[in-house]
Structure 1
Amino acid sequence: MFNSTVARLTYRALLGRRRALILFALPALLIVLSALVRALTGADDQTAVNVLGGFALATMVPLIGVIAGTGAIGPEIDDGSVVYLLAKPLKRSTITITKLIVAIGVTVTFSAIPTLIAGFLLNGNSQQIAVAYAVAAAVASVAYSAIFLLLGTVTRHAVVAGLVYALVWESLFGNLVPGARTLSVQQWALALAQKIGADGTITSDVGLPTALVLLAGVTAAATWFAVTKLRSLTLAGEE
């Protein structure tokens, strides 16, 4: 279910000049912001929660997920070059899952690691806040990668749709509207962070068992639909 050639091509596409610039810029902004906040306010647990929750998990992680998830397959479908890949003797499921694994790897690398570093800068991992948010970022990265990979297979405007989802639903409604929070990947990941962090430091609107089921369910469903959509693409001459 994994093909090294497909993985290598996908990594090369994702780490091209324009995408790499954004992928590096967002984590760099988080780390610089965290260093400035620490210098101005000192170590403070609530400040760390506000920065890591409000910027890292609510904004940076889904945006990186958009770049990696849609970029893993969307451009190939848009420009038609995917036909060369589909013409190879590879299962469509192998292509999809390989691209998903690459997208997850890129998203986790550019999300969870910078979040951990930022957490240590903000409060030295007091109350396990840095570790909690880093784990939440990694878990959220898996779900986001699957969701945005699916978007890349179903619409030519995957990046726009992904940005709307990331910025409007996850960042805005996911933070402000109580009902919407229960249907937010951010809140599901926060449930795990709440379990890892000290009591009362991090809170989520979703219980941990429910959050884990929803994370696994959404990831599996998005992957299945992406595989199904890729299988529906036909080459010239195929019946």
Structure 2
Amino acid sequence: MYNPTVARLTYRALLGRRRAALLFVLPGLLILLATAVRVLNGADDQIAADVLGGFALATMVPLIGVIAGTGAIGPEIDDGSIVYLLSKPVKRPTIIMTKLIVAISVTMMFSALPTFVAGFILNGNGRQLAISYTVAALVASIAYSALFLLLGTVSRHAVVIGLVYALVWETLFGSLVAGARTLSVQQWALAVAQKVGDGSMVTSDVGLTLAVSLLVGVTVVATWYAGQKLRTLTLAGEE
């Protein structure tokens, strides 16, 4: 279920000059913000939690997921170049799985690692905050990548829809509206992080069992459906 050639082409597309620049912006802002906060306020556990939860997990991770998830396949479908890949003797579920693995790895690299560094800058991993939010970023990266990869296969407006979801649902409703938190990837990831770290500083409105079930379920269903949608794409001359 993994094809090295497809992976190489996908990495090249995601890490090209334009997209790589976008991927570096948010992590760079997080590190700058963490450094400024530490210089101005010193090591403060609550401020560290606010920065890591409010910016890193609620904003940076889903936005990077949008860039990596939709970028792994959306542009190929939009410009029609996907037909060249589909004409090769590679099973379509293998294409989807390979692109998902690439999207996950890129999202993790550009979100979890900066979160870990920012956590140490902010308070030296006091109260296990750096570790907790890094785990949350890692877990969320998987679900976001699957969701946005699916979005890239079903809509030509995947980036716009993904940005609305990331900025409105996850950043705003997922953080502020109690009823919406149950359906927030951010809250599911926080439930896992709460188990790993200091439960008094990292909390979630969703129980661990439900959170894990939803994370796994969403990832599996989104990946399966993306594979099904790719199967419906036909090449010229196919019957």
- The structure 1 segments of at least 4 consecutive aligned residues displaced by more than 6 Å after TM superposition are none
C-alpha separation in 2, matches of 1:230 and 1:45 = 46
Q: What code does the residue aligned with 1:217 have? A: G
Distance 2:137 2:54 in 1: 12
| Residue matched to 2:194 | 194
| CA distance, structure 1, for counterparts of residue 172 and residue 199 of structure 2 | 26
Query: In the alignment, what sits opposite 1:75?
Result: 75
Q: Which residue of structure 2 lines up, in the alignment, with residue 217 of structure 1?
A: 217
1:62 maps to a residue whose letter is P
| Alignment partner of 1:26 is 2:26 | yes
Which residue of structure 2 aligns with residue 151 of structure 1? 151
- The equivalences for 1:89-104 within 5 A come to 89-104=89-104
Q: What SS class does the counterpart of residue 129 from structure 1 fall into?
A: helix
| TM superposition score normalised by structure 1 | 0.99
Q: Return the offset for 1:199.
A: 3.2
1:236 maps to 236
Q: Following the alignment from structure 2 to structure 1, what is the Cα–Cα distance between the partners of residues 57 and 198? A: 18
Aligned position for 1:166: 166
Query: Structure 1 vs Structure 2: percent identity of aligned residues?
Result: 75
| Shift of residue 16, structure 1, vs aligned partner | 1.1
User: Residue 49 of structure 2 corresponds to which residue in structure 1?
Assistant: 49
Q: Distance in 2 between matches of 1:168 and 1:196?
A: 28
| Aligned-partner SS, 1:236 | coil
The 2-side partners of 1:199 and 1:219 are apart by 25
Q: CA deviation at 1:189?
A: 0.3
What amino acid does structure 1 have at the position aligned with 2:72? A
Partner of 1:9 in structure 2?
A: 9
Deviations 1:23-80 (A, max 9, x none): 0111011001001000000101111110000000000000000000000000000000
> Please, what TM-score do these two structures have when normalized by structure 2?
0.99
Q: What are the superposed Cα offsets for residues 114-166 of structure 1, whole Å, 9 maximum, x if unpaired?
A: 00000000000011100000010000000000000000000000000000000
Aligned residues: 239
Report the counterpart of residue 108 of structure 1 in structure 2: 108
Query: What is the alpha-carbon distance in structure 1 between the residues aligned to residue 24 and residue 167 of structure 2?
Result: 19
CA RMSD of aligned residues (A): 0.5
Q: Distance in 2 between matches of 1:199 and 1:105?
A: 27
Aligned equivalent of 1:84: 84
SS in 1 for 2:183: coil
